[in-house]
Amino acid sequence: MSDRLHRFLFEHADIRGEVVQLDETFTEIVGRTDHSPAVQRLIGEGLAATALLAATMKYPCHLSLQLQSSGPLSLLLVQAGTSGGLRAMARTREAVPESGGLEAQARDGTLAITIEPESAGERYQGVVDLAGGSLAAALEHYFSESEQLPTRVWLSAEQPHAAGMLIQRLPAQSEAADPDAWERAGHLAATVTGGELRELAPGEIIRRLFHEEDIRLFDPMPLRFHCRCSRARVASMLQGLGEAEMRDTLEEQGQVEVHCDFCNEPYRFDAVDIEALFTPAAARSPASDQAH
């Protein structure tokens, strides 16, 4: 099954792992854009990475992975909810090169991970410089700097498949835990190829890599494309821009049209809609609240 995240645990070691594969979600998101193959691969890697990160959360939240740079790729933003919804967008200044790694694609870049609890709680953000020449290496750097948890990450994307794997050493829970397990797990996991990550079933990947280990598998978590945009959210944004700007746009274009940066869904507002946005509710006639 595609678009699933599989968690696993080393029974006699303080190590957890995850494997994620995204086919429908990756295809749906890049199919709404005209990005080059190089940018599509970065989007796919970002989707896999964000799904892996969200699965490590212990409470319901929204998690954002944001890469910004002064290079050809100016922005990569991927968002996930712990319920399994994913969306992504990218912006470029110029053609993003196929080779050269992140040093060429996202020069002088930073990686920010933002966690926003769904209920009461503080928003958290960790920011690190891009390091290691790949998004996977940058994530390992983030965990080392911000979380102090030894973590290894593998990512691969090639239309129509995006995939990733994470293993993480947890704080020691027992003195009886295998002291050599983390080093051994890292060596075994490092033998996986990008093609295997994308094309083999997650259970087969885990068995091939760790067949001599005592592994506990958990039920897979379904993932899907989900954009949180809505007409109401766009209307609120237009109100924030101000009545004068909206009326100028109406005069120039005959309507106000906004496309969601994530899903490219169009939202159109005509003169009646704009009038309603800037008319106090108590002053509206019943007809002004009808949908257009």
- Domain coverage including residue 279: 231-289
Kind of pairing between the strands at 224-225 and 85-92 = parallel
DSSP 221: E
Q: Which of 149, 15, 150, 164 is nearest to 78 (CA)?
A: 164
Which tokens sit at 137? 């290496």
Residues 29 and 60 reside in one and the same domain: yes
pTM recorded for the entire structure:
0.87
* The pLDDT value given to residue 291: 44
Query: How far is the C-alpha of 82 from the C-alpha of 79, rounded, in Å?
Result: 10
Whether residues 95 and 220 fall in one domain? yes
Domain count for the chain: 2
The confidence score (pLDDT) of residue 108 equals: 93
**What is the block-wise mean pLDDT of the chain (292 residues), using blocks of 10 residues?**
89 93 95 94 97 91 95 96 93 94 93 90 90 93 87 96 96 73 95 96 95 93 91 91 90 90 89 88 53 45
**Residue 117 and residue 183 in one domain:** yes
Residues 157 and 55 in one domain: yes
Do 147 and 253 lie in a common domain? no
Q: Write down which residue in 193, 225, 257 finishes a domain.
A: 225
Q: Mark whether 120 and 85 lie in a shared domain.
A: yes
Q: What is the pLDDT of residue 292?
A: 46
